[in-house]
Each structure stands twice: as C-alpha cells, then as structure tokens.
Amino acid sequence: MTAKPDNLSKQRSHYKLPYSFGLGGVPIGNGFNALSDVMAEEILESAWTSGVRYFDTSPWYGLGLSERRFGHFLHNKERESFILSTKVGRVLKATSNIPKTMWHEPSPFEYEMDYTAAATRRSVEDSLQRLGLSSIDIVYIHDLSPDNKDLGENWMKSFEQAKNGAMPELTRMREEGLIKAWGLGVNTIEPILETLKVADPDIFLSATQYSLMYHEDALNRLFPAVKEHGASIVVGAPLNAGFLAGADRYDYEGKMPDGFKQKRERITAIAKAYGTDLRTAALQFSSAPAEVGAVIPGASSGKQAAENVASMQTKIPSDFWRELKEEQLISNNAPIQT
C-alpha cells in the first residue's frame, strides 16, 4: 500500500504541539560525552522544574539509552501532563559486540535500518517497552536522508520502502488513536519535501536547518511547502549542537564551515552590546517563524537546561535584529521575535 495524499490532507486538521519549547534527547543518550544516570536525571529534573513539557528521544540515541532514561524520569509523571516523541527506522537487537557509533558508552544493542510497516510497528512497541510508558504522542521516521551514512546515495531506495511501509503504517496508527501525529526527523530538507508529495504527515523534526548560522534554504523552500500542507516544524539543534552556546563543534559531525567562527564572534559582540547573549538570540531566532511549533535544544547539564528555558523568557531589543540584518548576518526575510 502506498501512502498518497488526497483532499483530506487539506481538509484534516493537522496536529499542533501545545508547547513551543522542549528538550532534545541526544545528550541524554551520551551524544557528546558519557553522562551518568544521575547526571541525566538532573538534566531532566531541571528541565521539568523550569516548565519543559515536551520531550524528544529516539532508539538511535545511545542505542536505547536515551529512551530508557527518559522513561525512568517520566513514568512517575501524569501521562497527560507532557508530550513525548520518539522515532522509527532503526530496529535494535541485543548484542555483546556493540557497533562503533557516535555514542559514548551506549546500551548493548546493534541496529538494523528498516522502514517497513512491520518494523515500524515493532519499533514503536519496543520503544514503549524501553520507556515504560503507555503511549507515544509523535513518531518521526528517523534519518531517512542522504546524510545518513547507513543509506548514503541509495537513500531514495529506503525512501520508497518507507513510502510503502512506515508512512501508511504510521497513518494507520494515527487513525487507530495509538499516536497523535507523525512526520520525519531529518537533518536535510529534501526528504521532507518528498514526503509532502506522497503522504499526509503532521509535523517534521528538522534539525540543523534553521539556526542563526544557517537558515536561508529552510526559509525559501521548506517553510512554504510545510505551510501549504498545513503541517508544522520542530526545530532540532537550534544551537547547532552547542556551537551557538560556545562549544567548538558544529552540528553532529563536527565539521566547521568556513567563516562560521568569525560570524559567531560578530553576533556575540552585537548581542553583548544589546544586553543579551548568543544562546538567547539563537533560541528566539529559531522559534520566530509561524511554521515552527517548537524548538528543542539539548542540554548536557541541569544548569544548561534551566538556562535554555530562561533564554526564551528574555526580551531582546528589536534593534538587535535590525542590526543583524543590516550587517547581513541573518536573512532580510527571516522572521524575528516581537
């Protein structure tokens, strides 16, 4: 069965997140360094205490570790009091020979890329087991994208598998009431545009594509297509995996684009002149477009989690944004917080 959009996609009211800010689960899965369970719990507790009620995780993050930690924290909370999203596309299997990945001290699992209907259903069930929760709100088809090294140039072959498998299966799960919404969780734009042609998704987790450092392509191609469909965007990695919070890394692969450190230094100086800081500017910038339902930075400490929330509650002078546009540090057509 191929998932195809029809007139109902324009008539149906697509799911909208009730929260505009959340917590991304990459650091909780030991994405940049190894955290103890106690440290992970402190991050989650700090985020919750600061008012965060949207949490995003994935089987991929720490090979199940992130989901286990999120579930351990959330299982004592009232299920109706928070929104949880996870992902499908990788099926985990227990192993004594853990594969080499980006994760530090991951759980003892290996994985297989699989976007079929059966694997999608199994992945959701496995996630519920790891989480220890009764339901998942949003499911993203994960890394169905050319930057996924497991797929590479043949990613469209996997896209066809998902078009005939994961997409209609998630649509059925939505219709059955097992989930509230589905979409893609990817680091590039093309897979989202292709999905909008063949299916009726609700929401997309677009990571690394809309930040202070890089946003033109999303503004000009991604947001108009999503708006026309009636869907929405969750901005992942709004700090470019810590770069806009001062870390000397850029995105998940760590390759630093030419001139980006200098651009960061200039924006930082302008922010200081207006009594604000780079992280605050970056988070508010990514949340400004009408198509954005939420931004979900990660955090590597409880202090960072609280600081991220505080940044969203800070007023930035409008002249700051005007100066960034005048110096061509952000696009002229970029929406700004008012």
pLDDT confidence band for 8 (50 / 70 / 90):
very low
Domains of the chain with CATH codes: 18-261+278-320 (3.20.20.100)
The lowest-confidence range among 68-72, 197-201, 227-231, 334-338 is 334-338
pLDDT reading at 258 higher than 60: yes
Give the whole-angstrom CA distance, residue 93 versus residue 84: 23
pLDDT reading at 293 higher than 60: yes
Give a three-class secondary structure readout of 158-219: HHHHHHHCHHHHHHHHHHHCCCCEEEEEECCCHHHHHHHHHCCCCEEEEECCCCCCCCHHHH
Q: Quick one: which of 326, 320, 238, 226 has its CA closest to 271?
A: 320
pLDDT reading at 70 higher than 50: yes
Give the number of other CB atoms < 10 A from CB of residue 74: 20
pLDDT confidence band for 216 (50 / 70 / 90):
very high
Query: Which tokens go with 325?
Result: 């546009």
pLDDT confidence band for 239 (50 / 70 / 90):
very high
Q: Quick one: which of 55, 47, 72 has its CA closest to 303?
A: 47
pLDDT at 9: 52
- Is residue 30 a contact partner of residue 62, using CB atoms and an 8 Å limit? yes
Query: Which tokens go with 221?
Result: 């191609």
pLDDT at 10: 55
pLDDT per residue as tens digits for the range 13-43: 899 999 999 999 999 999 999 999 999 999 9
pLDDT at 194: 98
What letter represents residue 220's amino acid?
N
Give the whole-angstrom CA distance, residue 289 versus residue 274: 22
Residue 222 is classified by DSSP as I
Ramachandran class of 247: left when φ > 0, alpha when ψ lies in -120 to 50, beta otherwise: beta
Q: What's the pTM value of the predicted model, to 2 decimals?
A: 0.95
- Is residue 85 a contact partner of residue 140, using CB atoms and an 8 Å limit? yes
Could you give the residue numbers annotated as active site?
61
- Residue 111 pairs in a beta bridge with 92
- Residue 86 pairs in a beta bridge with 139
- In terms of Cβ atoms closer than 10 Å to its own Cβ (0-12, 13-18, 19+), residue 213 is buried
pLDDT confidence band for 1 (50 / 70 / 90):
very low
The helix, strand and coil proportions of the chain, stated in percent and rounded to the nearest 5, come to 40, 15, 45
| Across 202-226, average pLDDT | 97
The owner of tokens 């351990």 is 72
Give the whole-angstrom CA distance, residue 219 versus residue 290: 11
Q: What phi and psi, each to the nearest 5 degrees, are found at residue 323? A: -70, -40
